[in-house]
A and B are shown apart, each in its own frame.
Chain A
Amino acid sequence: MSTIVLLIITGLGLGALYFLIASGLSLIFGLMDVLNFAHGAFLAIGAYGTWWAAGHLPGAGPAGAGFLLAVVFGVAAGTLAAVLVELCVIRPLYGRHREQILATVGLSLAVPALIQAIWGADPLTFPRPELVSGTLPFLGVNVPKDRYLLILAAIAVFVALWLFNSRTRYGLIVRAGVQDRAMVTALGIDVRKSFTLVFAIGGAAAALAGSLGGLYFGVVTPTQGMSLLIFAFIVVVIGGTTSLTGCAIASMTVGLIQQFANYYTVAGLGDIAVVAVLAVVLLTRQGGLTAKKSAERVA
């Protein structure tokens, strides 16, 4: 029983990490119809930004409030990168999907290469504050504290995105823009501002995933973003490309399947199990788990 509880909590922790990455992908694809292969780069920038700030930024550090400041710096760096990518690379390419894919794939290769050129290809040890070190018992099982942190962060991001979508004017514009972008423009609204904002939010969530992913893995590597992005894409496809709720459900499902399959079969089989689930979803429900709810896209 204790093993199952442990696998559930750690699976949810992994799912939370996937959700942080996939939610931004889903949001960007849902509103802007942009398949952003550079999303993993925002994660890497967030991770390395946090790592660098913990060691160099005045006031920041590897523990306590200093670490929190380092995370804020990492998230800010990822957000800024996302804004610059939207303004300089994506904006001239709206509606040109082939060029978008080429440009974002190019960025997804260039950013890790740049990071590697500066800090090397070897994994760098990520700071681990005392507060998230060790374990915390849950139903008699000792669960690593960073899993709780990931789950709490994912819940906070989910609630924040839900509030953004349902309670703010920008959220209203996003939901309307998903349905009919031209009509939103014909109401006198500059959709481009919303696009930049959505890209910034997606970048911030990915950068946060980078910071917390550093805690989860204990190290950061230049290609961490790319490997996690593969699972984020799987989550988005399974959950439905424009549904935040579907994204959350799919993230947790993928995380749990990986944990259970890896534990009860052979290590590594979890990844294959996830791909098998993806194949089943694609064969039976092309629009993802939330296909029937397409009317409530990005809600």
Chain B
Amino acid sequence: MSAPAPLLEADDLHVWIEGSHILQGVSFTMPGRGVTAVLGRNGVGKTTTVKALLGLVPRTGRITLDGSDVTGLPTHTIVARGIGYVPEERGIFAALTVAENLRIAERRPGDPRYELVHELFPELRKRASQPAGTLSGGQQQMLAIGRALLNDNRLLIVDEPTKGLAPRIVREVADAVATAAESVPVLLVEQNLSLVRRVADQAVVIDAGKVIHTGPAGELLDDADRVRSLLGVARAATDEPTDGRMDTT
């Protein structure tokens, strides 16, 4: 029996930004289920890879979503094909209320899943009329994730969701990512290896703009020497998601 076709396929992605060759031929595939973690040290091109997939930065190469070549499509068309996106900087519209931040994400035609979002993050319902700019960092992250979960997407791309959050909020965000992963494939850029160990099935490791490793996430994280050599991490992650991000050497 042949393996199922990948949901997402990046082939030889190159990105130049202000003369710098940031991505130097990134290629990987993502299966149609579970969580695929994109790992790597700071500044190796993880966020640029995500932006390249969505067409948010000029790139060359080929991107296939569910068998269709989407390389030449504008960002809004790629996203409208069923992608929920949580950017690293959260992308919250500060002057809009929480309710408006969610409402603008409603995709038409479609049936927005407010029940799911409010069940995961009850705080968002309580603060519906509050300007999003006045939310705490953790609440803004909840809003960003809630916004991505509002539509019935075929792929969720989440970029560093626990960055800069307090440990208690990290656990809440980790729960949300885990819950989301039950129903939709997730491409997760993350440096918190505890979270990766908890939710990720596959791992893609990027270094200096190239993919240097792909394979099951559990196998990678269980091999301390490999983690140290690929990610520059001095100690192995625990099972409990905390604020412990990569302790890079």
Chain A residues within CB distance 8 Å of chain B: 169, 172-173, 175-176, 179-180, 182-191, 295-297, 299
Q: Are A188 and B93 in contact, with the CB atoms below 8 A? A: no
Alpha-carbon separation in the docked complex, A185 to B54 (Å): 10
A297 — which chain B residues lie within 8 A by C-beta? Answer: 95
A296 — which chain B residues lie within 8 A by C-beta? Answer: 95
Q: Does more than half of chain B's interface fall in helix, strand or loop, or is it mixed? A: mixed
Residue pairs across A and B with CB atoms within 8 Å: the count is 64
Interface stretch, picked from B2-10, B59-67, B79-87, B117-125, is B79-87
Q: Are B75 and A185 in contact, with the CB atoms below 8 A? A: yes
User: A19 → chain B, closest Cβ, in Å?
Assistant: 23
Alpha-carbon separation in the docked complex, A143 to B95 (Å): 41
Q: Are B105 and A183 in contact, with the CB atoms below 8 A? A: no
Q: Are A179 and B107 in contact, with the CB atoms below 8 A? A: no
Question: Which of A173, A179, A182 is B95 in contact with, Cβ under 8 Å?
Answer: A179
Confirm or deny: B103 has a beta carbon within 8 angstroms of a beta carbon on chain A. Answer: yes
Confirm or deny: B104 has a beta carbon within 8 angstroms of a beta carbon on chain A. Answer: yes
Which residue of chain A is the closest to B157 with respect to CB atoms? A186
A188 — which chain B residues lie within 8 A by C-beta? Answer: 76, 79-80, 83, 107
Which residue of chain B is the closest to A166 with respect to CB atoms? B100
Q: Does more than half of chain A's interface fall in helix, strand or loop, or is it mixed? A: helix
Alpha-carbon separation in the docked complex, A189 to B96 (Å): 17
Q: Are A172 and B103 in contact, with the CB atoms below 8 A? A: yes
Question: Which of A182, A185, A187, A295 is B105 in contact with, Cβ under 8 Å?
Answer: A187
Q: Are B93 and A175 in contact, with the CB atoms below 8 A? A: yes
Question: Which of A176, A180, A186 is B54 in contact with, Cβ under 8 Å?
Answer: A186
A173 — which chain B residues lie within 8 A by C-beta? Answer: 104
Q: Are A186 and B107 in contact, with the CB atoms below 8 A? A: no
A176 touching B75 in the complex, CB below 8 Å, given contacts A184-B104, A295-B133: no
Across the A-B interface, the 5 shortest Cβ-Cβ residue pairs: A188-B79, A188-B80, A183-B91, A295-B95, A176-B93
Question: Which of A176, A182, A299 is B104 in contact with, Cβ under 8 Å?
Answer: A176
B234 — which chain A residues lie within 8 A by C-beta? Answer: none
Which residue of chain A is the closest to B57 with respect to CB atoms? A182
Chain B residues within CB distance 8 Å of chain A: 54, 56, 74-77, 79-80, 83, 85, 87, 91, 93-96, 100, 103-105, 107, 131, 133, 147
User: A275 → chain B, closest Cβ, in Å?
Assistant: 32
A187 touching B104 in the complex, CB below 8 Å, given contacts A182-B56, A295-B131, A295-B133: yes
Alpha-carbon separation in the docked complex, A184 to B101 (Å): 10
Q: Are A186 and B85 in contact, with the CB atoms below 8 A? A: yes
Alpha-carbon separation in the docked complex, A299 to B131 (Å): 14
A180 — which chain B residues lie within 8 A by C-beta? Answer: 91, 93
Which residue of chain A is the closest to B90 with respect to CB atoms? A183
Q: Are B75 and A179 in contact, with the CB atoms below 8 A? A: no
Q: Are B87 and A186 in contact, with the CB atoms below 8 A? A: yes
A179 touching B94 in the complex, CB below 8 Å, given contacts A186-B56, A186-B75, A187-B79: yes
Alpha-carbon separation in the docked complex, A183 to B96 (Å): 13
Interface centre among A176, A185, A187 (most CB of B within 10 A): A187
Alpha-carbon separation in the docked complex, A185 to B76 (Å): 5
Q: Are A189 and B131 in contact, with the CB atoms below 8 A? A: no
Q: Are B103 and A191 in contact, with the CB atoms below 8 A? A: no
- Give 26 pairs: A residue, B residue, CB < 8 Å, sorted on A: A172-B96, A175-B93, A175-B95, A175-B100, A176-B93, A179-B96, A182-B75, A183-B87, A183-B93, A185-B74, A185-B75, A186-B75, A186-B79, A186-B85, A186-B91, A187-B104, A188-B76, A188-B79, A189-B104, A190-B74, A191-B76, A295-B95, A295-B131, A296-B95, A297-B95, A299-B95
User: B11 → chain A, closest Cβ, in Å?
Assistant: 22
Alpha-carbon separation in the docked complex, A172 to B95 (Å): 11
Q: Are B76 and A179 in contact, with the CB atoms below 8 A? A: no
A172 touching B104 in the complex, CB below 8 Å, given contacts A186-B56, A297-B95: yes
Which residue of chain B is the closest to A179 with respect to CB atoms? B93
B75 — which chain A residues lie within 8 A by C-beta? Answer: 182, 185-186
* Additional pairs, 20, CB under 8 Å, beyond known A172-B103, A175-B95, A186-B87: A169-B103, A172-B96, A172-B104, A175-B93, A182-B75, A183-B91, A185-B56, A185-B79, A186-B54, A186-B56, A186-B75, A186-B91, A187-B76, A187-B79, A187-B105, A188-B107, A189-B104, A295-B94, A295-B131, A299-B95
